[in-house]
Amino acid sequence: MARRIFSGIQPTGRKHLGNYIGAIRHYVEGQDAGEAIYCIVDLHALTVPQDPAELRERLYDTTAILIAAGLDPGRCILFRQSDVEEHTELAWLLGTVTAWGDLNRMHQFKEKSEQQRELVSAGLFFYPVLMAADVLAYRATDVPVGDDQRQHIELMRDIAERFNARFGDILVVPQGRYPEVGARIMNLQDPGTRMSTTYGSEQGTVYILDDADVVRKKVRSAVTDSGTEVRRADEKPGITNLIEVLSAARGVAPEEVEREFAGAGYGDFKVAVADAVVEYLTPVRERYAELRGDEGGLEATLAAGAEKAGAISSEVLADVREAMGVGPGP
């Protein structure tokens, strides 16, 4: 079958360099690699407490950033998850062929539940099934995601295979696609923790919308080690992370970065990283500023995308319903 690409992105938090390198740039490239479908997953966001007004603002922020980064609604389908009701119904149906034990082993559930003292929601536990529904509703063949989503993708594949074994060959078993470079961009102040708006320090997180001076300050203050060699090594997580960042920003192999800075000091290396990141992010930040104020235009883009997405997912859901004996007969 033709290649169909699907990926989702949370609308929460300010989008950072890790999001851009690990996911967003691959969304843009995917527009030329097959039929591309991208979803802003606001329902997933509800699995942890959200301020409703802020959630809407962040959704518009995310939409504008994606378009500013190069997503073209004329070349891909870009929509809001909650606008396409097939996602939630399919999640329930798939939940009936998902093992409780598999969900209980999800690393991200364990990590996030430890952060929620007052309420660990059933939605957080069920999150991977909704994620599976997001993808399987479109018979996607490829799912570009960050390296931290490998376990969710494997579960998604298991769910599809179990469904097909029981009800017939209806769902496509997708493949996860992981970036070879920049799969996990780490916090600049704590290179043992991935860059995140939830974990790690603010100073160690480079946001897409940070201005140039802020980016340079954050990169210059990045944690390194007591050595002087610019090379990747387990005992040099800070330098290893900066090499990954520079290689992604320049579009070159990490080995090329190591060769270029062999014998150079950390100071010169950090200046080069900072300059490359500024050059990498400035066009997105400037285009975002042009788009963000037109919320009506952003809503129109999302609505048009939801109509296209619904046309695909409704057919898949109808096939699933028929196979499972749910609703009226054929």
Domains and CATH numbers, the chain: 4-177+294-324 (3.40.50.620), 212-289 (1.10.240.10)
Q: What is the pLDDT of residues 25-83, one digit of tens each?
A: 889 988 988 899 999 999 999 988 899 999 999 999 999 999 999 999 999 999 999 99
Sign of the alpha-carbon dihedral angle for 292, 297, 302, 305: negative
Q: Tell me which of 105-119, 194-208, 286-300 is least confident.
A: 105-119
Two tokens at 112? Answer: 């996030």
Is the separation of the CB atoms in 136 and 94 below 8 Å? yes
pLDDT band at 179; cut points 50, 70, 90: low
* Pairwise CA distance, residues 175 & 302, whole Å: 26
Which whole-number Å values give the CA distances from 177 to 38, 55, 97, 136, 186, in the listed order? 14, 28, 24, 15, 20
Please calculate the CA angle 137-55-138 and round it to the nearest 5 degrees: 10
Higher-pLDDT residue of 128, 23: 128
* Pairwise CA distance, residues 12 & 41, whole Å: 9
Burial 189-211 (b: 16+ CB within 10 A, else e): bbbeebbbbeebeeebbbbbbbe
Higher-pLDDT residue of 112, 181: 112
Q: 77: Cβ–Cβ under 8 A, 6 or more apart, which residues?
A: 36, 37, 38, 305, 308, 309
